[in-house]
Amino acid sequence: MIPLNGLASGKTVYRWTSGKKFFDEFENQDILDADLRIEVEVEKSGSQIDVDCHIAGRLTVTCDRCLGDLMIPLDSVERLRVKFGDANGGEESFDEDGRETVLLSVGDTELDMKQVIYDYACLSIPLHKVHADGECDPEVTAHLGTREDVPGEFVGEENPFAALKDMLKS
């Protein structure tokens, strides 16, 4: 939590560390382990508050190919601008300078960075999570790409789509 009331003009830096327990609070079972360092620089100028959030460290997830542990390095810098508006609050957009704008209610006195940090850490995880070539578990990869015929599957001319293949040739 970053206190917004009484925040002095100029820059203020906050630092945290975060581990698996942080992701457990969000009931995230995809992240097996985490070791993150978070540095948040808050700059207040008049009624404008800019927040630069730097997240660095590593996340451990399951490899999509071999189901082994996969360590993903993380180094992300996100920029926010806090604005105060009507009671609706919570709306987000982007400013001309690329900062994500977070609109808070006028009565809000703190900026909860938990959800922001969680979202940006999760968005840093690639969609296709696999080890580099040759780094997957060899016992698992030995079985990949090999397959025996499964009973009940169509083979050869029994395949109803074989006729379509012939139609394409003509």
Question: How confident is the model over 114-140, as pLDDT tens digits?
Answer: 998 999 999 999 999 998 888 888 888
Q: Domain segments of the chain: what residues?
A: 2-141
Mean pLDDT of all residues in 78-107? 73
Tell whether the model's pLDDT for residue 57 goes beyond 60: yes
Mean pLDDT of all residues in 25-31? 93
Question: Tell me, what's the pLDDT at 142?
Answer: 81
Number of Cβ within 10 Å of residue 104's Cβ equals 19
Question: Tell me, what's the pLDDT at 156?
Answer: 53
Question: Tell me, what's the pLDDT at 164?
Answer: 76
pLDDT band, residue 89 (cuts 50/70/90): very low
3 state SS for 27-74: CCCCCCEEEEEEEEEEEEECCEEEEEEEEEEEEEEECCCCCCEEEEEE
Lowest mean pLDDT among 64-78, 88-102, 116-130: 88-102
Q: How far apart, in whole angstroms, are the C-alpha atoms of residue 164 and residue 37? A: 57
Most confident of 100-109, 118-127, 139-148: 118-127
Tell whether the model's pLDDT for residue 7 goes beyond 90: no
Question: Tell me, what's the pLDDT at 97?
Answer: 74
Average pLDDT, the chain: 83
pLDDT band, residue 143 (cuts 50/70/90): confident
